[in-house]
Amino acid sequence: MDLKTYFEYLLVMAGVTYLLRTVPFILLKGELESRFWKSFLNYVPYTVLSAMTVPAIFYATDSRVAGVAALVTAVIASLFGRGLVVVAIVACLTVLGVDGAALLLQ
């Protein structure tokens, strides 16, 4: 890729990033009155975080069984009201336990 093409791509990416950040401020000048849009926008960060995290859980380990076990234990720990650090530690220990058990059985 030559330098001219690189800077054209860079300019397009910068423009798209700028537009994505400024258009909502231009369109939504006042306070949102709709209860639907307020509740919808409150759940967007959780949805995006889940969409990025859940697939990574399955592909971060060598076996899908360990990923599924970690996801299940993390959900159970979070349902019991545990914090983010405790949930992450429980999921990591589950992966270590499942992978360790699989190594011992071989």
8 Å CB contact between 99 and 91: no
Q: Model confidence over 2-41: pLDDT tens digits?
A: 899 999 999 999 999 999 888 887 877 778 788 898 888 8
Angle between helices 64-79 and 35-59 (to 10 degrees): 140
Q: Model confidence over 42-96: pLDDT tens digits?
A: 898 889 888 998 888 888 888 899 999 999 999 999 999 999 999 999 999 999 9
Amino acid making up residue 52: M
CA-to-CA distance for 31 and 34, rounded, in angstroms?
Answer: 9
pTM over 0.75? The answer is: no
- Report the 10 Å Cβ neighbour count for 21: 9
